[in-house]
Amino acid sequence: MTTHAWLLLGLYLLVLLLAAKPLGCHIADVMEGRPSLAARLGGGVESVLYRLCGIRREEEMGWLQYALAILLFNLIGALAVYALQRTQAWLPLNPQGFANVSPDSSFNTAISFATNTNWQGYSGESTMSYLTQMLGLTVQNFFSAATAIVVVVALIRGFSRHTAKTVGNAWVDLSRITLYVLLPISLVYAVFLVGQGAIQNFDAYKDVTASATMSTQSLPMGPVASQEAIKMLGTNGGGFFNANSAHPYENPTPLSDFIQMLSIFLIPAALCLTFGRMVGDMRQGWAVLMAMTLMFVVMAIVAMVFEQQGNPLLSGLGIDQSITAFQPGGNMEGKEMRFGIADSSLFATITTLASCGAVNAMHDSFMPLGGFVTMWDMMLGEVVFGGVGSGLYGMLVFAVMAVFIAGLMIGRTPEYLGKKIEAFEMKMVSIAILVTPLLVLAGAAIAVMAADGIAGIANPGAHGFSEILYAFTSAANNNGSAFAGLSANTPFYNNLLAIAMWFGRFGVMVPVLALAGSLAAKKRIAPGAGTMPTHGPLFVVLLIGTVVLIGALNYVPALALGPVVEHLMLGPGN
């Protein structure tokens, strides 16, 4: 690793951890209805909203009603996105005159954006009207982020309340997180992005010609910055353009890139401390955040090292892959010059650990072990920071699993934050943990056995299998990045991946809410001599061990057939 890479990683961690606590406390205030600056400014809007919608804010919901409300809200969202795509040709704000999107692609995209996956089978600049982008996709960027945040807040209430029948009011929670957290940050962030060079307009595409000898170039336009801000902040990751955050109009400068990386982890990190604050013990939040941070640092270093080493197959061709003061060297295929190796590898690690899926470099062209890191990051279950909300609820599920394992080892009833962990909780935890690996492995198995599945492969050999494995890992974990060589905009992949995205999202979310309801109903027991402390280094290690072991055991055989084989084929003599 270069000094520049170390400096970048160090600065990133510093700013992230400094920003996490104030934002985490703000989110706790907002969700618990305490006065905040944002609430003072927007309180009027909130009241009007409730009156128009017939929402009584003091009326709370049990977990099942909460889950139904969330499912209904997201179902409406998916239908709206589908309808917009299918009718965009007849609607305004379509200066390029794009046709209506095909049924299977619209279905895939609707599910994709409703589930915070933002897998993109289409190419934005040649498919979507400005209206679809802002009223369909931008809106879902807000709502899917809000959805997962309120679900983790409901789970936290499960720990912080006792002998309670309810976990909150879904409508109030959704409105508050959208109005008082996501919207104000996005507004400032979007203006900053325009300041760096991101575009924000409703113009038709512009034709430019540099000189008489050059062909004309058509420059894409659109309301990009407003979508870009929430795309990163909400760990959505669906680009306005096909090249996503590699596109200079989405991510124009190294500084905008740094802020984009920061904004991916910002809310997931802050929520750990929201958790600490709401359960009344900040140390619990810091312990979870430290476990995440440690795993992140290791993965980032591995990715940076392997991408910087470059491609041995290119040595001997008269190319300079070394790092000097005048070039970044390394594996530059599929990377942008302004980002080079360090920023691209760091971004790739962050975007795959968080279920963001935005890319500033093409993961398909990473070295085998660089690509391995991106896939492995997702296979950990998107719990190391993870998606906004979903990362923390996933991690808390693993924390319950960890105390359960520890309880088995010492022969005591496991408890977490004063709540006894019993059979029902462990059933919900098991479903939440197992549903994604099942979707990934079954989906990939179906695709490699079907002619339609094989037909999508772009690269030969082990890498082709990696493309399919990556697609299902990304979809079921709601990440949305891709080994983008795979031709996935076909009815086969559009439908199969949509199924993986939907169940990968709500197949976890519903058991988590059931867990929240069951925990909230329990009495709180005072910590005794046999209680394992869950805020110290021992617990951090145990938590990391649980996440890594479960991730590893599920996916090792599949990984061995993909990136591992590919890396071995790079070795001498091949």
Partner 1 sequence: MKKLFRPAISLFILLSAVTGIVYPMAVTGIAQVVFPENAHGSLIVKGGKPVGSSLIGQNFSDPGHFWGRPSATSPQPYNGTASGGSNLGPLNPAFTDAVKSRIAALQAADPENPRPIPVDLVTASASGLDPHISPASARYQVARVARARSLPAATVAALVEKHTEDRQWGLFGEPRVNVLELNLALDDIR
Which lies closer to partner 1 via its Cβ, residue 284 or residue 481?
481
Axis-axis angle for helices 282-309, 368-379 (nearest 10) = 160
Taking phi over 0 as left and psi of -120 to 50 as alpha, with beta for the rest, 310 belongs to: left
List the one residue out of 505, 16, 38, 66 whose CA is nearest residue 268: 16
Shortest Cβ 382–partner 1 spacing (Å): 23
Six-digit token pair at 165?
A: 């029948």
- CB nearer partner 1, residue 12 or residue 286: 12
Q: Which residue, 80 or 426, is less far from partner 1 as judged by CB?
A: 80
Q: Residue 268's closest CA among 344, 188, 353, 346?
A: 353
CB closer to partner 1 out of 182 and 272: 182
User: Between 163 and 326, whose beta carbon lies closer to partner 1?
Assistant: 326
Pick the closer one to partner 1 by CB: 385 or 483. Answer: 483
Quick one: which H or E segment has residue 217? strand 217-219
- Report the nearest approach of partner 1 to the CB of residue 366 (Å): 7
Spatial distance between the Cα atoms of 268 and 375, rounded to a whole number of angstroms: 20
What minimum distance in Å lies between the beta carbon of 533 and partner 1? 40
Contact criterion met (CB below 8 Å) for 116 and 231? no
Distance, in Å, from the CA atom of 518 to the CA atom of 286, rounded to the nearest integer, reads: 25
Q: How far is the CB of 439 from partner 1 (least distance, A)?
A: 24
Minimum distance from residue 536 beta carbon to partner 1 (Å): 35
- The DSSP string of 386-440 is TSTTHHHHHHHHHHHHHHHHHHHHHTS--EETTEE--HHHHHHHHHHHHHHHHHH
Q: How far is the CB of 249 from partner 1 (least distance, A)?
A: 6
Q: Select 335 or 419, whichever has its Cβ closest to partner 1.
A: 335
CA 218 → CA 125, 204, 209, 215, 334, distances in Å? 11, 10, 9, 10, 22
Q: How far is the CB of 108 from partner 1 (least distance, A)?
A: 18
Tokens at residue 336, please? 């942008």
Nearer to partner 1, 160 or 166 (CB): 166
Rounded to a whole number of angstroms, the minimum distance from the CB of residue 408 to partner 1 is 39
CB of 571 to partner 1, least distance (A): 11
Q: Which is nearer to partner 1, 214 or 451 (CB)?
A: 214
Give, to the nearest 10 degrees, the angle between helix 537-559 and helix 368-379.
120
Is the Cβ of residue 194 or residue 295 nearer to partner 1 in the bound state? 194
Residue with Cβ nearer partner 1 (287 or 359): 359
Rounded least distance, CB 434 to partner 1, Å: 28
DSSP-H helix ranges across 115-215: 130-131, 139-160, 170-177, 183-196
Cβ of residue 350: shortest distance to partner 1, in angstroms?
Answer: 15
Quick one: which of 74, 234, 251, 81 has its CA closest to 149?
Answer: 234
What SS3 state is found at 317?
coil
> CA–CA distance from 454 to each of 208, 331, 461, 487, 492 (Å)?
40, 27, 12, 10, 11
